[in-house]
Amino acid sequence: MMFSPGPIIAKSTGEGSAALAVIRISGFKNISDFNSSFSKKLDSLKPRVASLVALLDKDKLLDEVVATFFQAPHSYTGENILELSVHGNPINVDRIIEFFCDHYSCRLAQPGEFTYRALKNKKMDLSQVESLDMLLTSKSLQGVELGLKGLNGTIHSCYLTLREEFIKLRILVELLIDFSEDVGEVETQEKALSQFSHLKKLIDNLHSRVTYQSRSLLSPSIVLFGTPNSGKSTFFNYLLGHERSIVSSEAGTTRDYVSETLQIEHRLFNLIDTAGIRESQNAIEKQGIERSFEQYREAFFKIAVINPLDYDDHFLHLLSAHSVDCFVITHFDKFIGSTLSKSTFLEFISQQKKPLFLSRGPIEPLFFGPIEPLFFTGPIEPVFASGPIEPLSLFFNLISQKLDSALGNDPILVPRQQAAIKAINDSINNMDIKMIYSDILICSNEINILGSKIEALVGLVSADDVLNNLFSNFCIGK
């Protein structure tokens, strides 16, 4: 985005009719310039205090508005800002904006231009702008909460601290190059090694916060995984509360994954029913199984649905190789009384320290309950519900607890920041700081490369295409 000076104007509220709309003007020199178009002299208004005034085109009333003047630098953009709360009919809003463009040389703002000016005038830093983008565009409650949290500047403070500690290391290395005889070479080398260790701990801490992909937490998926006819589709429909996935006694009914939005405690999850896992020669079914594995690998919460009367050891081996958040075992009453009960299945389940839910027959709420305790040290004994049990709250609590735990670790979910932190982590892990003893110039070069990556994270050297991509997501009035 190329900065263009001069006053800009835009509606800051949403599209469509409403009782009120807010029009924002930024970048004018003097508030008194607008005096002739209002019933009250605007330079007499106290800054940041709303006042009811009439907006006039000569003697013609355009609207009665609430005007608020934000005097520079104490405004969102750091410039003089006039905000007008007007009646929200789009015709009225467009007429007022056109009036200011015609009479006061205002131009329509580009998407995100108000925030761009705030960044340029150092009212916001790049990480705060990215948090604002998440707040305004996120389709999930957790995205809104993380966006609000990022606006307070805490994460940027972490980045600045990292940069300050890096500068300390670079100073020590430069001293070794230019003034080693004056400062004491051995002592300075030891200080540099200590500072390097301290810097690496800061980077390790940041890197631990980029474990999750942004999609994994902002739009988390719950995946049901199992063999054909294990009860996945029945359980999928049960969680949704309506028939969405086809249920049939014929194995392999689900050839591709089926997804639906599921709301848990005001948070949106993507619930996915996958194709049954088995050896197949059918090209279409094989493709569906491959997609099932892809969904399973990327899932935030993994539920393995198993029919112990119809499974194979190959599938249990697959589960052992991949993490599972909980197990749902169907037809467990028939399994206990069968000759299969001495199979490797019980041995496998007894080794899984994960929540385990048993169903007597098909998945129905009347005969559905958890095993307690959740972690086993001895033989498994079935526990059947003695009365109606609502298992949904048990599942939903498990899912919410995992999400709360992940969000409680202050994850960094902005893709640009994640990529920058990963690049910094790779750089410092590949660096041989002991080169200060043998070839200080090579060590200095590696440290300078690390420094450029830290500068990019802080936002001090951001490419224009990064900014253009970021601000293109913003609405016109932001």
Minimum mean pLDDT range among 134-138, 375-379, 391-395? 375-379
Residue 471 pLDDT > 80: no
User: For position 278, what pLDDT does the model report?
Assistant: 62
- Do the Cβ atoms of 86 and 80 come closer than 8 Å? no
- Do the Cβ atoms of 9 and 107 come closer than 8 Å? yes
| Cis amide leading into 373 (omega within 30) | yes
How much is the average pLDDT of 162-184? 83
The DSSP result for 367-380, as a single string, is GEEE-SSSS-SS--
Just give the CATH number of 8-123: 3.30.1360.120
CA 24 to chain centre: 29
pLDDT in tens, 192-223: 999 999 999 999 999 999 987 767 888 899 99
User: For position 382, what pLDDT does the model report?
Assistant: 46
- Do the Cβ atoms of 251 and 276 come closer than 8 Å? yes
pLDDT band per the 50, 70, 90 thresholds, residue 384:
very low
pLDDT in tens, 441-459: 888 899 999 999 999 999 8
Looking at every residue in the chain, the average pLDDT score rounds to 82
Q: Which residue has the higher pLDDT, 186 or 283?
A: 186
User: For position 26, what pLDDT does the model report?
Assistant: 97
pLDDT in tens, 104-152: 999 999 999 999 999 999 999 999 999 999 999 888 888 898 899 899 8
Rg of the chain (C-alpha set): 31
pLDDT in tens, 225-277: 888 877 888 888 888 887 665 554 455 555 567 888 888 888 889 999 987 76
pTM of structure: 0.74
Residue 318 pLDDT > 80: no
pLDDT band per the 50, 70, 90 thresholds, residue 68:
very high
CATH class for the domain made up of 132-211+413-458: mainly alpha
Report the C-alpha gap between 63 and 53 in whole angstroms: 9
Q: Give residues with Cβ within 8 angstroms of 129, minimum separation 6.
A: 115, 118, 119, 470
Give me the half-sphere count of Cα atoms (radius 13 Å) on the Cβ side of residue 368.
20
User: For position 223, what pLDDT does the model report?
Assistant: 92
Identity at 460, one-letter amino acid code: L
User: For position 217, what pLDDT does the model report?
Assistant: 86
* Secondary structure (3-state) at 93: helix
Just give the CATH number of 215-408: 3.40.50.300
- Say what percent of the chain tops pLDDT 70: 77
Of residues 119, 124, 126, 93, the one with CA closest to residue 108: 93
> In the chain, what are the domain boundaries?
8-123, 132-211+413-458, 215-408
User: For position 372, what pLDDT does the model report?
Assistant: 44
User: For position 252, what pLDDT does the model report?
Assistant: 52
Report the C-alpha gap between 19 and 87 in whole angstroms: 6
Q: What does DSSP say about strands 356-359 and 326-329: parallel, antiparallel, or unpaired?
A: parallel
pLDDT in tens, 334-351: 666 555 555 666 677 667
Residue 368 pLDDT > 60: no
Report the C-alpha gap between 187 and 129 in whole angstroms: 42
User: For position 5, what pLDDT does the model report?
Assistant: 85
User: For position 438, what pLDDT does the model report?
Assistant: 75
User: For position 376, what pLDDT does the model report?
Assistant: 42
**Which pair of tokens denotes residue 390?**
């609502």
